Amino acid sequence: MSLSVFSHFKLSSRGDSSDGGVVRLISAKDAHTDESIQLKYIKQKTVGTGTFGTVIQAKLIPDHNDQVAIKQVLQDKRYKNRELEILRTLDHPNICHLRYYFYKQEDDKKYTKRTKAPKTYLNLVMDFMPETLYSVSQLYTKSKQRMPRLNVKLYIYQLFRALAYCHHMGICHRDIKPQNLLVDSRTGVLKLCDFGSAKRLVSGESNVAYICSRYYRAPELILGATIYTTAIDLWSAGCVMAELLMGRPLFLGKSSMDQLVEIIKILGTPPSTSCKHSLSVIQKLPRIEPKPLSQVIRTSSPDALNLMAALLQYDPGRRITAIEAMAHPYFDELRLSPTASASSSSSMASMPSLAASSLSSVGGPSLFDFTPQELMIRPDLKSKLVPMFSVVID
């Protein structure tokens, strides 16, 4: 199974090996206390390369079982790195944890004549996860199977939990897609990663519209909105959910405007009230009636279709929020007693279906260990979110 780690990076086809077990010693800082430490690690392999840098898999010393991913990004010293600043404020079981960070200059030996100062790279030392949701879903697609329904619920629920936390802190991820969702298919744990496009949104403040990967881009972004909300992440989440259920992306546009065409083919023409900033564009569009989602995603349950319909709303203000999505009846199966949940998963497909015991096993997904901060997002939903058998962290 692929060891892809961050979506901005192309997977290494060579599977670069380690550098002979060489122990590297580097001065680093704890991401949350800013305490200086001496970090020792052994590089195992390069797992991704791209325009923005490199991702390597490494083992921390002395605990050889402690694997991490080190994301190396070219740093412009004139600016603060937004991803670093955001990750340092986040602490959530469904968000890839930033442990340490350090800066390192490139090797001068690579150059015989230098006209500029050596480039500086920011290194983010993070939790390592063996797969992405994309790589896992591709296994099912290639074997002409659909991901088991309980697996879909487990993964999508954890995505909503991560988004509810981020959005409560005013952070919009702006690039939700399967490649940015790290998973361990053995335990069912999902963690949101790659905050390179993330931003703290300020009400009324203009932002770049050309953001988010095309298949998951909200219609207001396609139509050029520069003032938007965290609701763009919920549209993307709806697209991810549909993709897991269908085995392919729901909207397969070949360009930005073709993406809008593909959306209209299914959801119909946007109402003029949904994107007031693009009223002139909408008024020129042909009037297309929406298709029932049940005709497009035929294998889905009524609850699944209802949730996706609530996410895939043209009007951002009408989209369901992440915390509301967690309380949706679609996820009621997860809120059964552990015994009942295990029983309901017994009919799941075997490749690579999550074990029935993963709902309550050590190292499996912790679905209901809510902090008071999480429950404060919508206190009125607490009775729905917290099952009777669960315990809330004080």
Query: What's the pLDDT tens digit per position in 126-180?
Result: 999 999 999 999 999 999 999 999 999 999 999 999 999 999 999 999 999 999 9
Give the pair of three-digit tokens for residue 242. Answer: 């549909």
Q: Pick the residue with more confidence: 17 or 6?
A: 17
Q: List the catalytic residue out of 91, 175, 315, 332.
A: 175
Return the closest-CA partner of residue 321 out of 238, 210, 220, 197: 238
Under 8 Å between Cβ of 96 and 133? no
- What domains does the chain contain, in order, with CATH numbers? 10-16+31-127 (3.30.200.20), 131-385 (1.10.510.10)
The b-or-e profile of 270-301 (16+ CB within 10 A means b, else e) is beeebbeebeeebeeeeeeeeeebeebbeebe
Residue 14 predicted with pLDDT over 50: no
What does pLDDT average to over the chain?
Answer: 85
71 marked as binding residue? yes
Q: What is the pLDDT of residue 386?
A: 94
Min mean pLDDT across 107-121, 218-232, 236-250, 346-360 is at 346-360
Q: What is the rounded distance in angstroms from the CA atom of residue 195 to the CA atom of residue 8?
A: 11
**Tokens standing for residue 335:** 């809120």
Nearest C-alpha neighbor of 40 from the set 81, 100, 98:
100
Is this structure's pTM higher than 0.85?
Answer: yes
User: CA 394, CA 391: separation in Å to the nearest integer?
Assistant: 9
The rounded Cα 291 to chain-centroid distance in angstroms is: 28
Residue 145: phi and psi, rounded to 5, are -120, 165
| Interatomic CA distance for residues 7 and 182, integer angstroms | 10
Task: Give residue 355's pLDDT band: very low, low, confident or very high (50, 70, 90).
Answer: very low
Active site residue 175: yes
- DSSP for 133-201, written as a single string: HHHHHHHHHHTT----HHHHHHHHHHHHHHHHHHHHTTEE----SGGGEEEETTTTEEEE---TT-EE-
The residues near 188 (Cβ < 8 Å, ≥ 6 apart) are 151, 154, 155, 354, 358, 359, 364, 365
Flag whether pLDDT at 356 surpasses 60: no
Q: Which of 352, 386, 345, 360 is nearest to 183 (CA)?
A: 352
Task: Report the pLDDT value the prediction gives residue 155, as an integer from 0 to 100.
Answer: 98
Pick the more confident residue, 343 or 312: 312
Residue 304's nearest CA partner among 331, 326, 327, 323 is 331
Whether 229 has a pLDDT exceeding 70, the answer reads: yes
d(CA 1, CA 21): 24
